[in-house]
Structure 1
Amino acid sequence: MRRLPIRALTGLATAGLLTLTGCGTETAGPAADPAAAPGAGRTVRAQQVMRLTEPHEATGMTLLEGPTFDADGKLLVVDVTAPAGEPKVLRVDVRRKTARQAYTDDRGAYTSAQFSPHDGRVYLTDFSSGDIVSLAPDGGDPRTFFSGEVEGARMNPDDIAFDEEGNLYVSDSRGMSEGESKGRVVRIDRDGTEATVLAAGLAAPNGISFDERYRGLWISELTENRVSYLLLDGGGGVASRHTAIRVDGGVAQTDSIAVDADGNLYQALHGRPAMAVYNRDGERLATVEVPGRAADGLESATNVAITPGSTKAYMTVSGPAGGYLYSFDALGRGVRQSNGG
Structure 2
Amino acid sequence: MKYSEQNKYFPIPDNEKNLDTVTATEFATIPSESTGMNFLEGLWFKDKDNLFVCNTFQSKIYLVNVQTKAVSLFATLPDHAFPTGINVHSNGNIYVACSGSDEGSMVLVLSNEGTVLKKLFVGTTKSIDDLVFDKKGGFFFTDLAGTHNKRTAGVFYVEPDLETVHSVVDSGMVATNGVALSPDEKILWITDFGDGKLYRFNLAEDGHSIQPYNSLTPYTFTGADGPDSATIDADGNLYVAICGQARYLIFNQNGFAIGQVLIPGREQGKMAKSTHMAIRPFTNQGFFCASDPNTGECKIYETDVYAKANLGLQFS
Query: What is the TM-score of this pair, normalised by structure 1?
Result: 0.81
Unmatched runs of 5 consecutive residues or more in structure 1: 1-28
Which deviates further from its counterpart, 288-297 or 275-284?
288-297
Identity %: 21
Number of residue pairs matched?
298
Of residues 59, 62, 67, the one that matches 2:43 is 67
Partner of 2:128: 157
CA contact 1:32–1:249 (8 Å) conserved in 2 = no
Residue by residue, what CA displacement relative to the aligned partner does 1:15-72 show, whole Å, maximum 9, x if unpaired?
Answer: xxxxxxxxxxxxxx722314x4257512111000011122x3331x211111111235
What RMSD in Å do the two structures reach over aligned CA positions?
A: 2.2
Asked if structure 1 preserves the Cα contact closer than 8 Å seen for 2:246 and 2:266, the reply is: no
Secondary structure at 1:37's aligned position in 2? helix
Q: Read off the aligned partner of 1:74 and give its amino acid letter.
A: N
User: In structure 1, the residue corresponding to 2:58 is in which secondary structure?
Assistant: coil
1:41 pairs with one of 8, 12, 19: 19
1:336 is aligned, of 308, 311, 315, to 311
Q: What is the Cα deviation at residue 123 of structure 1?
A: 0.4
Question: Which residue of structure 1 aligns with residue 165 of structure 2?
Answer: 195
Report the Cα offset of residue 332 of structure 1. Answer: 1.1
The corresponding residue for 2:5 is none
Which residue identity lines up with residue 139 of structure 1 in the other structure? G
Structure 1 residues 114, 259: closer, same or farther in 2, change over 3 A?
same
Q: 2:49 is aligned with what amino acid?
A: G
Report what 1:166 is aligned to: 137
Task: Please give the alpha-carbon distance, in whole angstroms, between the structure 2 residues aligned to 1:184 and 1:335.
Answer: 25
The CA deviation string for residues 121-160 of structure 1, in whole angstroms up to 9 with x for no partner, is 11001111221101112212x03341142xxx53200010
Name the residue aligned to 1:122: 94
Q: Structure 1 residue 256: deviation in Å?
A: 0.6
1:327 alignment partner, one of 289, 302, 306: 302
What is the correspondence of 1:1-341 to structure 2 with a 5 Å cutoff? 30-34=9-13, 36-37=14-15, 40-54=18-32, 56-59=33-36, 61-71=37-47, 73-82=49-58, 88-107=60-79, 108-117=81-90, 119-128=91-100, 129-140=104-115, 142-149=116-123, 153-176=124-147, 180-200=150-170, 201-235=172-206, 236-240=208-212, 242-292=215-265, 296-319=269-292, 320-321=294-295, 322-336=297-311
Q: Is the 1:273–1:295 contact (alpha carbons within 8 Å) kept by the matching residues of 2?
A: no
Residue 309 of structure 1 deviates from its aligned partner by 1.7
Amino acid at match of 1:65: E
- Structure 1 runs (4+) deviating above 2 angstroms are 36-40, 240-245, 247-252, 291-297, 336-339
Whole-Å Cα distance in 2 between the matches of residues 104 and 71 of structure 1?
20
